[in-house]
Amino acid sequence: MKEKVFCAIPEGVEVDEDFDCFELVKAIYGLKQASRVWNETFHEFVCSIGFQVSDFDPCLYLKITSGECVLLLVYVDDVLVTDSSTELILRTKSDLKARFEMTDSGKCAFVLGIELVDNDDGSVTMCQRRYVEDVLKRFGMSDCKAVTSPTDISSRLIPSTAATKIDAPFREAVGALMHLMTATRPDIAFAVSYVSRFMENPQVEHWMAVKRILRYLQGTKSQGICFIVG
């Protein structure tokens, strides 16, 4: 750490001298500097072994070796490493283990609540099946009947001037759907954007529109974004 930080002597710790406090020699959990120090430490190390930070995302690092590109993605203290060469992946993991205490979870199947599915044709699908199931359960829709579209095109919603709102978790549901929409489900983007217009004074018809989106998700839990080869 660049700053000098002192802490009270923890209860039960015995010292030979008459000290009132300890000086920290490194950042620990709970310090306001801790996350910044960790980020700087990790950044300096991966750059020292040949990685460069992406111009498009500060959490993405790239390293070109013998025509192969190693990608390293960081979220707080979770790290993903990928490359077409297994040897380079193992070498990168070895370098990281030599510097940091870490656990190798093997092939990644879930990251930040997103499921990664390797398809037979070499493509990869990102979906949030578990998240959808949790949302359906949270709003009492686990056993609802599925529909084939997220919006009823035969009806038109309008803002309400009613003095009272519907007694339903409208905003909470729309917020949950927005998270899903921005992560892996662009197919519900229009429907979610549509119902979000009525956050101020939601009525029964607006809540029914939200429930229709949930019913659509019931039948498309495993749908997501597919990245194809080439």
Q: What is the pLDDT, as a whole number, of residue 114?
A: 92
Q: What is the pLDDT, as a whole number, of residue 10?
A: 79
Strand order in the sheet with 68-75: 52-53, 60-65, 68-75, 78-82
Whether residue 47 has pLDDT greater than 90: yes
Reported confidence tier of residue 107, pLDDT bands at 50, 70, 90: confident
Reported confidence tier of residue 190, pLDDT bands at 50, 70, 90: very high
Average pLDDT of the residues of the chain: 90
205: exposed, middle or buried (C-beta count within 10 Å: 0-12, 13-18, 19+)?
Answer: middle
Please compute the mean of the pLDDT values over residues 44-52 and round it to a whole number: 94
DSSP characters over 91-160: HHHHHHHHHS------S-SEETTEEEEE-TTS-EEEE-HHHHHHHHHHTT-TTPPP-S-SS-TT------
Amino acid occupying residue 218: Q
Query: What are residue 186's phi and psi, to 5 degrees?
Result: -65, -15
Reported confidence tier of residue 106, pLDDT bands at 50, 70, 90: confident
Kind of pairing between the strands at 114-118 and 110-111? antiparallel
Reported confidence tier of residue 55, pLDDT bands at 50, 70, 90: very high
Task: Pick 92 or 32 by higher pLDDT.
Answer: 92
Measured distance CA(26)–CA(72) in Å, rounded: 25
Domains in the chain: boundaries: 6-108, 126-227
Q: What is the pLDDT, as a whole number, of residue 189?
A: 97
CB contact at 8 A, 217 and 188 = yes
Whether residue 16 has pLDDT greater than 80: no
Percent of the chain scored above 70 by pLDDT?
Answer: 100
Q: Can you say whether the dihedral through the CA atoms of 28, 29, 34, 40 is positive or negative?
A: positive
Lowest mean pLDDT: which of 110-114, 185-189, 190-194? 110-114
Whether residue 67 has pLDDT greater than 90: no
pTM, full prediction: 0.75
